[in-house]
Structure 1
Amino acid sequence: MTGPLQHVITSCTSQTSYSGGTEDMGAGTPATAVRRGRRRASGALECEVLAALRRAGTPLTPREVQRELPGALTYCTVVIILRRLHGKRVLTRTPRGRAYAYAAV
């Protein structure tokens, strides 16, 4: 398997922890990017979202994905990650009410 799907799957299996960062990320840093003074590893949030969708087994809206994820992620952050994964053709989406429901390919 090659292409964007293989890249995301490969990076999800190789990244399971947070990378070290400075204790003070500075003013203006989004709260969702910092956890106890550490920043998520590149692609870690995408992996968490993809794993939540796979666990669910059915398409989920951004709000439902947000509830499935640990930590305090904003709705907008979840939507951005879902849109990026959809753009990489890792997710499919179908209209559900005023939102889209996303599912892993």
Structure 2
Amino acid sequence: MKIKERLKQNSSKLYSITSENVTKAFDYPSVKSKELKEGIKKKIREKAILSTKARLAERNKSFDDYTDEELEIIISDEERKLKDDLKTKSLVAALAILGLDFLI
């Protein structure tokens, strides 16, 4: 009887370990996808802040001249511009790959 009980325990342990590993394997792409999206958002945010600094430097202003809400609006506007630019460049690249350069 003890052998049967041990086999049941070992098989249940193996089953739980296997199911955990399978779950991790199927969750891996979604986790990596989230990390990639967060990384892209971070890069866009950094570039938007640099663009905002350049925009303020052209006007001889600094971050201290604006409130946090105003700066957030300016930075979000720069983020929107960067995203639109990336979308346009991606579309042009896709059309070029397809050989549809007459649409550009």
TM-score bracket relative to the smaller structure: under 0.3
Question: What's the TM-score once normalised by structure 2's chain length?
Answer: 0.25
Which is richer in strand?
1
> Per chain length, whose mean CA-contact separation is higher, i.e. which structure has more relative contact order (CA < 8 Å, sep 6+)?
1
Question: What's the TM-score once normalised by structure 1's chain length?
Answer: 0.25
